[in-house]
C-alpha cells in the first residue's frame, strides 16, 4: 500500500478548520440538547442566523438516518424500517417547529426572507424522502406482509399511515411524473408563503385615522382608549387609529354610529389582497388552484378535493356538499328572517337605505339589545382575560383532574407569553403549555394551537411529554382596564385550549400518530366541544367575575346570555358555510385555466344563493385557511361543521348523563379520543366513546336551526 504523505501545514490547517467548525456548531442552540427547564426551546438564545444552518444540518442528518434504513441488508420489518423512520429527523423537526411557529406568531423581514430560502429546501427534502425508491420498497415490504405481523393497534395504524403517506407523496409514480411532482411541490410551497406574506402586509398597512371625536360616537370607552393608544404608539397623539386586526375593526362596525366610516373600514377589511398592488393575491390564487389541480392529476385524481378528501373522514366532495347544504337550507332561511328584522330596525330609526353587509354588525347589536335587553358591553366586564383562562383551566380540572401552574423565568419568544406546567391528577407530568394572547403587527391574524414538541416514547423507552402553544389575537389592556374579552373571544380561548388538551393528554408511542395527528375533519372535535362549557351557567359562575368588584355574573345576565345564545345564528352559520362552499368550489374544478377570482367567487355565491347582505366569512384574497398555512384547510374548511356534528353529539352525551362534568363520560372521552391521537380510524375512536354514530340533530338544535 502506498502511504500518502500530507504536509504538516495542511494537517494544522485541517485541524484548525475542524476546531472552528466545532466552535460554530456549539454556538448554535439547535445543535445541542436544550439545557432549559423541561427542555423547552431556548428562545432567549436562538437568533435568526441560527435557522438556516440548523435546517441544512437537520436535512443532512435526516438523509443520513434514511440511508442507514435503506442500506440495511436484512429484510425489512416494523422495527428496522417503520419505527426507525418515525424516530428519524429529530433535529429537522425541532428546528421546523420553532421556526414555523415563530414565523406565524412573531415574524419580521428576516424570518420571512429565511422562509423563502427554506421553503424550497424543505419541499425538495420531503420529495427526496417520499420518492426514495429503496426506502419505499422497504416500507412496502413491511406493508405487504402486515397480516402476518403481530402488531398492536398503534403499530398497525402507524404502518398503514406511513405506507399511505408514501403513496400519496408519489412513491408509485413513474420517474417522469415524479420529476413533475417535485417541481409542482416547490412552486406550491413558495406560493403558500407569498399568500400569507401578502395578507400580513395588507392587514398591517391599513390605518383608519380619526381626527374628530364626534366620529367616535357610539363606541365604548375601552375601544376609544385602545384607538388612542394605537395612535400614540404611531406618534399620532391626539388622534384615534383603527386597524384591520379583528379586535379593532369588529368593535368599530358593531358600535360606531358613523355609517360612512363603518363602510370604509369594512370594505378595507374585505378588500385585503384585492387592491391591484404588489400584495394582490388574485394571481397567487390563480396559480395555486391550477397547480393543486395539476398535482391531483399527477396523483391520479380528477380534482384537488378528491385527492384531499381521500384521506379524510368525509371521503368525497359529494358527502361534504351534502352536509353543507343540509345545514345551508335552514340557515339561509333564518338569515333572511334576521335581515328583515334588521331592515325593520333601520326603518324604525328613520333610516332610508337598504341593509348592506357593513350595516349588519351594527344593527344586529341593536336588535339583540331590543330582543334580549343584552349588549356586548354589559357582559364584557365579566370576561377579564385572566379569569377566563382560569375558567378554562377549571373545566379541564373538573373533567380530567388536570392542574396548571404558572412558571416564571422560562425562555420566552415574546415577553407577553405565559408558560404553565400541566400535571395529571396523580401528580404526573403531562406537558408544558405556552399561551400568547395579544394582537401585534408581527403576528398573523386568527387563533391557533401548535406544538414545539409532540408527545411520544423515545427509542430507549423514555416518555417524551409535549410542549404546546395557544396563540390568539385579543386586544391588549387599554387605559386602566385589564384585557376584557367579548363572548366570541371567550369561545375562541376555550376552542384553542381544547386543541391544546388534545396534544397534552396524548398517550401514544409514535409521533406519527400522536396528539393532533388525526384526520383534518376530526381534529376540530376536541377544540369545538370545549366551547360548549364556556356558555354553561354552571361554568359561567366559576369564571365570569366583574373585573372591578369581583362580583360573580348575576343570574339575570346569565339567563340573558343563554336566551340570546342562538341569536344571529343564521348570519353566523351562513357566512361560515359560504366560505366553506367557496373553498370546495375552487377545489372541485376539474379543468385548468385562467381564473378570474372575483368572477369565480361571485358565481360561487350566486349558485349557493347567498344574500347580498352577507359576505363569506373569508373572501378569496384573504382566505388563509385554504390558500396559506400549508393549505391544511384547502378543500377542508368544511371540517369545522363536520366536527360540530361530532362535538354537539359529544356534549349531548354529558347532558344525557345528567351532568356536564359526568366523570364516566369524561373518562371515556379522554381515553377513547383525547389520549388516542390517530391510532385508529376517526369514526372508530368516536364509536368507542359514544357507542353509536353521531346525529346531526344536536348540531341543528345548538344553532337554533331546527
The 10 Å CB-count burial string (b at 16+, else e) for 623-660 is bbbbbbbebebbbbbbbbbbbbbbbbbbbbbbeeeeeb
What backbone torsions phi and psi does residue 242 show, to the nearest 5 degrees? -120, 140
Tell me the domains of the chain and their CATH numbers: 32-172 (1.20.1050.40), 206-270 (no CATH), 303-372+570-628 (no CATH), 381-515 (3.40.390.10)
Gyration radius of the chain's alpha carbons: 27
pLDDT in tens, 229-252: 999 999 999 999 999 999 999 999
Angle at alpha carbon of residue 647, lines to 642 and 652, rounded to 5°: 130
pTM of the model: 0.93
Percent of the chain with pLDDT over 70: 96
For residues 464 and 453, the answer to whether their CB atoms sit within 8 Å is yes
Torsion of CA 70, 76, 82, 88, to 10 degrees: -30
Reference 167, options 137, 207, 190; nearest CA is 137
Which residues have C-beta within 8 Å of that of residue 159, sequence separation ≥ 6?
A: 78, 82, 142, 143, 146, 151
Question: Can you list the alpha helix ranges (DSSP code H) found in 71-174?
Answer: 84-87, 90-105, 109-130, 133-144, 153-168
Residue 3 has pLDDT above 70, yes or no: no
- Alpha-carbon distance of 416 to 436, in angstroms, equals 6
Mean pLDDT within 83-90? 98
CB burial of residue 21 (10 Å; 0-12, 13-18, 19+) = exposed
pLDDT in tens, 517-547: 999 999 999 999 999 999 999 999 999 999 9
Give me the catalytic one of 496, 524, 601, 613.
Answer: 496
pLDDT in tens, 149-174: 999 999 999 999 999 999 999 999 99
What backbone torsions phi and psi does residue 32 show, to the nearest 5 degrees? -145, 165
Question: Three cell numbers at 6?
Answer: 500530507
Q: Which phi-psi region, left, alpha or beta, contains residue 603 (left: φ > 0; alpha: ψ -120 to 50)?
A: alpha
- Alpha-carbon distance of 57 to 80, in angstroms, equals 23
What backbone torsions phi and psi does residue 464 show, to the nearest 5 degrees? -105, 115
- Alpha-carbon distance of 171 to 160, in angstroms, equals 15
pLDDT confidence tier of residue 26, bands split at 50, 70 and 90: low
Reference 161, options 311, 314, 316; nearest CA is 311
Q: Is 221 a catalytic residue?
A: no
- Alpha-carbon distance of 453 to 467, in angstroms, equals 5
Amino acid at each position: 500500500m502506498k502511504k500518502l504523505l500530507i504536509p504538516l501545514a495542511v494537517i494544522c490547517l485541517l485541524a484548525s478548520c475542524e476546531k472552528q467548525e466545532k466552535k460554530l456548531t456549539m454556538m448554535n442552540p439547535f445543535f445541542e440538547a436544550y439545557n432549559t427547564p423541561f427542555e423547552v426551546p431556548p428562545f432567549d438564545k436562538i437568533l435568526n442566523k441560527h435557522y438556516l444552518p440548523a435546517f441544512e444540518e437537520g436535512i443532512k442528518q435526516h438523509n443520513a438516518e434514511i440511508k442507514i434504513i435503506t442500506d440495511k441488508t436484512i429484510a425489512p420489518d416494523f422495527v428496522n424500517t417503520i419505527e426507525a423512520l418515525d424516530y428519524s429527523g429529530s433535529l429537522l423537526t425541532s428546528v421546523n417547529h420553532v421556526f414555523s411557529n415563530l414565523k406565524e406568531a412573531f415574524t419580521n423581514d428576516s424570518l420571512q426572507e429565511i422562509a423563502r430560502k427554506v421553503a424550497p429546501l424543505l419541499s425538495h427534502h420531503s420529495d427526496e424522502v417520499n420518492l426514495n425508491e429503496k426506502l419505499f420498497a422497504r416500507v412496502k415490504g413491511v406493508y405487504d406482509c402486515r397480516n402476518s405481523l403481530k402488531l398492536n393497534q398503534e403499530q398497525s395504524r402507524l404502518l398503514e399511515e406511513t405506507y399511505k403517506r408514501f403513496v400519496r407523496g408519489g412513491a408509485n409514480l413513474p420517474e417522469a411524473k415524479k420529476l413533475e411532482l417535485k417541481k409542482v411541490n416547490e412552486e406550491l410551497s413558495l406560493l403558500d408563503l407569498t399568500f400569507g406574506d401578502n395578507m400580513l402586509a395588507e392587514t398591517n398597512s391599513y390605518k383608519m385615522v380619526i381626527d374628530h371625536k364626534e366620529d367616535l360616537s357610539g363606541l365604548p370607552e375601552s375601544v376609544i382608549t385602545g384607538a388612542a393608544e394605537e395612535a400614540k404608539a404611531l406618534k399620532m397623539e391626539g388622534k384615534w387609529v383603527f386597524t384591520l386586526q379583528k379586535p379593532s375593526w369588529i368593535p368599530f362596525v358593531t358600535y360606531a354610529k358613523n355609517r360612512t366610516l363603518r363602510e370604509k373600514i369594512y370594505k378595507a377589511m374585505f378588500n385585503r389582497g384585492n387592491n391591484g398592488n404588489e400584495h394582490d393575491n388574485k394571481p397567487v390564487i390563480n396559480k395555486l388552484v391550477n397547480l393543486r389541480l395539476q398535482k391531483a392529476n399527477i396523483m391520479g385524481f380528477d380534482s384537488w378535493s378528491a385527492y384531499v378528501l381521500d384521506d379524510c373522514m368525509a371521503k368525497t366532495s359529494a358527502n361534504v356538499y351534502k352536509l353543507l347544504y343540509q345545514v345551508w337550507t335552514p340557515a339561509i332561511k333564518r338569515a333572511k328572517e334576521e335581515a328583515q328584522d334588521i331592515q325593520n330596525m333601520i326603518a324604525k330609526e328613520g333610516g332610508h337605505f337598504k341593509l348592506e353587509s357593513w350595516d349588519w354588525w351594527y344593527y344586529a347589536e341593536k336588535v339583540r339589545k331590543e330582543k334580549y335587553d343584552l349588549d356586548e358591553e354589559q357582559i364584557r366586564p365579566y370576561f377579564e382575560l385572566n379569569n377566563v383562562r382560569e375558567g378554562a383551566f377549571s373545566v379541564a380540572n373538573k373533567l380530567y383532574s388536570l392542574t396548571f401552574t404558572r412558571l416564571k423565568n422560562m425562555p420566552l419568544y415574546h415577553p407577553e407569553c405565559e408558560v404553565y406546567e400541566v400535571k395529571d391528577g396523580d401528580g404526573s407530568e403531562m406537558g408544558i403549555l405556552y399561551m400568547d394572547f395579544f394582537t401585534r403587527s408581527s403576528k398573523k391574524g386568527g387563533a391557533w394551537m401548535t406544538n414545539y414538541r409532540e408527545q411520544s416514547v423515545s427509542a430507549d423507552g423514555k416518555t417524551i411529554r409535549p410542549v404546546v402553544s395557544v396563540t390568539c389575537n385579543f386586544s391588549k389592556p387599554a387605559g386602566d382596564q385589564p384585557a376584557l374579552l367579548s363572548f366570541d373571544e371567550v369561545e375562541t380561548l376555550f376552542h384553542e385550549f381544547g386543541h391544546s388538551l388534545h396534544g397534552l393528554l396524548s398517550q401514544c408511542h409514535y409521533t406519527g400518530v400522536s396528539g393532533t395527528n388525526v384526520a383534518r375533519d376530526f381534529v376540530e372535535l376536541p377544540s369545538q366541544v370545549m366551547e360548549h362549557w364556556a356558555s354553561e351557567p354552571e361554568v359561567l359562575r366559576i369564571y365570569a367575575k366583574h373585573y372591578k368588584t369581583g362580583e360573580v355574573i348575576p343570574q339575570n345576565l346569565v339567563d340573558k346570555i343563554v336566551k340570546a345564545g342562538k341569536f344571529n345564528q343564521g348570519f353566523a352559520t351562513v357566512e361560515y358555510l359560504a366560505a366553506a362552499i367557496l373553498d370546495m368550489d375552487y377545489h372541485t374544478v376539474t379543468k385548468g385555466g385562467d381564473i378570474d377570482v372575483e368572477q369565480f367567487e361571485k358565481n360561487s355565491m350566486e349558485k349557493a344563493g347567498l344574500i347580498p347582505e352577507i359576505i363569506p366569512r373569508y373572501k378569496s384574497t384573504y382566505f388563509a385557511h385554504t390558500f396559506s398555512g400549508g393549505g391544511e384547510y384547502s378543500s377542508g374548511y368544511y371540517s369545522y361543521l363536520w366536527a360540530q356534528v361530532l362535538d354537539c353529539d359529544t356534549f349531548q352525551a354529558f347532558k344525557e348523563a345528567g351532568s356536564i362534568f359526568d366523570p364516566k363520560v369524561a373518562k371515556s372521552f379522554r381515553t377513547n379520543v383525547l389520549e388516542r391521537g390517530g391510532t385508529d380510524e376517526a369514526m372508530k375512536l368516536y364509536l368507542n366513546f359514544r357507542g353509536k354514530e353521531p346525529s346531526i340533530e344536536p348540531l341543528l338544535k345548538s344553532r337554533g336551526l331546527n
